[in-house]
Copies of this chain bind each other. A is one copy, B any other.
Amino acid sequence: MTENGKSARKGPEAKRARRKTAGSEGPSTIRDVAAKAGVSVATVSRTLAGNYPVSAETRARVMTAVKSLHYVVNVHAKALSGGVAGPVALVVQDITGPSLTHVAAGVEQEATARGRLSLVCSTHGDTAREDDLVQLMREQHAAAVVIVGGVVPDDAYHRRMADYARALDAAGSRLVLVGRPSLPAGLPATVVEYDNRGGAFQATSHLLAAGHRRILFLAGETGFSSSEQRREGYKDALNARTVPYTPELDIPGLYTRTSGYRRVRDALDAGLEFTAVFAATDAVAVGALAALREAGLRVPRDVSLVGFDDVPFAADLTPSLTTIRVPYEELGRTAVRLVLDREESIAPDDHVVLSTQLVIRESVRPPR
């Protein structure tokens, strides 16, 4: 008691050595560091944060202890006491697609630049899973939940997104819709779109300018947002040149290579006449190319072809594919930037539309 009384008056060894009696069990805590350095936990915390005067000698002792114990802070504890910025979550159907990958890269890039972690989750089109993910992200205190990809904008969709927006907002997070139809004003969500209509307009106009009049449009699924917007662009371009819109040349389907292949093969079998094809996606264009070639038609000599997306391999096809470049990476970066800027109340921009761009390669030529 006597010798204890002396050191207990001020010494930091007050109630140390509570339970960590055994040797090396689990990662070391700030208390271990404090013990080793012979200072209080507060001093360790402050030394590491570097926001408080600490004598050089103390700092050295602390740093030595930190090194020798391989100490790292526990994020959870840190977060609990308020010092950690939430991560950014990216929710996609499937990371594998070339365009989604670029969005992911953009998100990761911007998140990292701002000191956030980025989580990647895929839904595989399962809305229940999407619900779960939103819940999970609320738990994680995600700064932003970025959902990417076109959809069929029906009532159920709008209800779900409205719920997400409100739920995330209540948890201090924010919903970001990328390449998806925007929500009614007033809902706490950020939307980053790209100009589907304009892109399709440019693509179609490019074919029209080359002299094509019967342009096969390989659309996406009926009702699917991006597909409908691209169709509008296609129609508008025809209209602008007073070329009549022919419904039989407008064939819906999937955004896949196989679908493109089948539709062109069937169209040729049915004797449909056209001199150019505008595929709603590069993948569809690849399928179309295969079907045309199989039918003995040469691209671009016999039929011209334009895609949409400008995926990396578009330039490597034979012929290289004229297509519409979508700024996927920029889309991802913008999504994150908008939300994080808003957190610092810099620029409360809520809805951005990025433009698309025609990339001219070899797959278009005037009709014979």
Contacts and interface: CB of A to CB of B under 8 A. Distances in A.
A27 to B, nearest CB: 5
A105 B122 contact: yes
Nearest to A290: B316
25 contacts: A27-B138, A27-B170, A73-B139, A75-B76, A75-B139, A76-B76, A76-B79, A76-B80, A76-B84, A95-B101, A95-B108, A96-B102, A101-B101, A108-B120, A108-B121, A108-B122, A109-B122, A112-B122, A117-B119, A117-B136, A118-B119, A293-B318, A313-B313, A317-B317, A317-B318
A105 B95 CA distance: 6
Interface in A104-157: 104-105, 108-109, 112, 117-122, 135-136, 138-141
A70 interface: yes
A120 B75 CA distance: 18
Interface size class of A (residues with CB under 8 A): 35 or more
Given A112-B121, A316-B286, A316-B313, A72 B102 contact: no
A77 interface: yes
A211 interface: no
A138 B72 contact: yes
Interface of A: 26-27, 70, 72-77, 79-80, 84, 87, 94-96, 98, 101-102, 104-105, 108-109, 112, 117-122, 135-136, 138-141, 167, 170-172, 257, 286, 290, 293, 313, 316-318
Among A74, A105, A121, max chain B CB count under 10 A is at A74
Given A74-B80, A87-B119, A119-B119, 13 more contacts: A27-B172, A76-B80, A77-B80, A96-B102, A101-B101, A105-B122, A112-B122, A118-B120, A118-B121, A120-B120, A257-B316, A286-B313, A293-B318
